[in-house]
Structure 1
Amino acid sequence: MRKLGALMMAAVLATSWSAHAQAPQPAQRRQPQEANGYTRYELLAPGSGKFRIIYDITAVRTGATAFFNPIRKGSVASDESVTDMATGKPLKFAQVSGESAKTTGLPDADPTYDYIRVELAHPVPADGGEARILIEKTYEDAKSYYVQGADLIFDRPLGIKKNAVVLPKGYVLTSCNYPSQVTQEADGRLRISFYNITPGEAPLKLRASPGQLSATPTSVKGKFGERAKQTRDIVYFLQPPETHAFDLYHDYTEEKAGVSRYINVVRPGSVATNPSAKNLDTGESIPAVHMKGAEITKAGIDDPELGKVTPESEIVVFNFKPLQPGQSIRLRMSETYTDPGRYKLVGDELVFDRTFGRAENAVVLPKGWMLTNSSAPVTVSRTDDGRVRLDFNNARPDEVEALFTAKRVSAP
């Protein structure tokens, strides 16, 4: 169960997709093959040049029945396996040439590459549906992973935005050129993890030296999570500012066996309406139950982020079939929020003032409005329907204070 800021109503999903979701078909860009990539590199014995890759990736091209994972030039792949994340069951796959990939599902394949072609458990559903897969393989690449004196070096440009590198047992980190979280795992190994929010590759170079660390529990356990591994993101679609309203959707992956619901704690000062949800893995709708005050107590719902239940307490509950071991579910929850304190019109200026706790946060301005001020770093783009999209992506495990303004643009 997680705190949910707010989401957009289902009707808007059909007409107001962001740049990475469904958009009007005429003259649009080719839909990307994938999204939400996370790669974990586990460095094997020093001197072997080998590392285990665990690649969590989502196929998003509507109707696709196969997914293609390129094999990097200079690397030799072995010990592959592929799993469907929703069911936990294995998927069929084969190594194919780039030419074969071009004619069997990936028209923009590079003919000079080889690919792992994965047969998906089902075609990718329409309207933002997904097919989540886990690819595991071992690479041998002595140019990327090698020994220098007593030290080991991992030197590899990484195009996937979310990554972790796990050192072998008996090694300690002595240098890292890319800002990263460092975590000691339960077995004593060190994990170096980062979320690259720049448009380019991360030119990662790590150096580790021999050294023993105890595997006793850390004193900071549970005080921060791996930012790169977080699975929650949110997109706001602003209605005209005089309404104080915004529609939004929030995506979240639940993996814990036995869990059968998601609780959205409505932020004080906001009014939530039109709740809906769906399973992105299947496209199926999920019922939503709106509760306040005594209804919450009567239902026996206790959530740490809800705190003490008062008459003003408000939640939205999304119930689904309990997860079995090895299963997971990707949810998209949608609502409309009205929040006069955080979204308003001041004179002729749109003002939006809200904290974002997730790693990935996006706001789509009303049509005809342009950004004029932003307190937090932001990337700016256009959606396929011509609206301005603002992405506040945060690699740090803290909140973003997003205060920004916009004004209408008159015809030149």
Structure 2
Amino acid sequence: MSQQAENTLLIRLPESSSSPVFWYQSEVEQGQLAVSELAQLAEKSEASRVLVIVPGELVSLTTIEVSGSLTPAVIRSLPYRLEEDLGSDVENVHLAILDKDEDQLHLAIVENSWMELWKSWLQEAGIKSRRWLPETLVLPWHAGHIVTMARDSQSHVIRSGQWQGAVCDTGWLPLYLESVQSEQSLTETQLSAQNFFSEVAKQSAELKGNLLQGDWRPAREQSSLTKGWQQLRLSAVLMTLIVVVWSGSKFYNSWEQEQQVKAYQQSANELFADTFPGKRAIRPLSQMKSALKSMQGLQSNETGFLEQLDKLAPVFKRQSSVVPVSISYQKNLQQIRITAEAGNIGQFTDLRDRIAQSRAVRLESLEQKTEKGKQASVTGALIISGDRS
């Protein structure tokens, strides 16, 4: 077996949590589990390409004629072109584009409820996969052949073309094959259920198509550089807050407050050591500023990035209902852009008014969104451009 096949973990999900999950990685590593036991495959999935196979009868395959390019407007119109054939509301189905061959557009259609169910099983088990396919499209296929597999005594899985397939009851199989073969000359090839996974694993690198598109597309892993910068940025904010408290303690002389100063200083040193392994923390705030300057080219002046964050940190602490999502600094404009999320628009305007008491600030890109099963939330950007004169 090829290296590609050995590094592929196949997981066939069922329709119901009461049915078994079949999995395969090699001839000696395969078996079946209950849905509640899926977490046993989490460790294997971390070092493998995970191909999730879903029941073919729950995914409809169709081809429509679409001339010209697939613009976003054309893609948005596809569900409505198929509305009469869907058997369900447009909002309840997911369309995945499998391929476009000249003016022929090949599509897979599956209800969102099934996608949500399978996704929840994998998430609870800690398994990540970037590719899902129906079993009809993972059967080995060659031009001029129709491949059939007896899944059990009641049903057969059939692949009659690169983007054509179906699942039918065993009693209807002869009639179905006759209807397909009357349209084109095909040679029937039978595949046993015992050899299904091994055959799929052998040609997994050649499989095309993916159900994970649009709203179901998995989020990409962040690069190590991006993760490192975000960690550094978070560390800088935390460092600044610590130093603000530390600096404020100089107005007190009691022994207890002196001990608190030492504790804050120790926390700052430890945070610096975690952020910059191997470097000695002599003056943590100055060193952090220097590091940020080298990464972003910030100027070390009174209106620099850290100084502005110094002044904003107490405001955000008091207005905890607005949660920052990202922070960026435009050096040439001396502006901070904070993208944040809140429960409603009023919380944004309250925060804006608090900041506006001492600084020039404006709101941009307010957008209300509603996620399935969650209350509406508001995202927006605060543009803070300097002290109010």
TM-score normalised by L of structure 2: 0.27
If you compute each CA radius of gyration, which structure gives the higher value, 1 or 2?
2
- The structure where helix makes up a greater share of residues is 2
- Whose strand fraction is larger, Structure 1's or Structure 2's? 1
Tell me the TM-score normalized by structure 1: 0.26
Which one scores higher on RCO, CA 8 angstroms, separation ≥ 6?
1
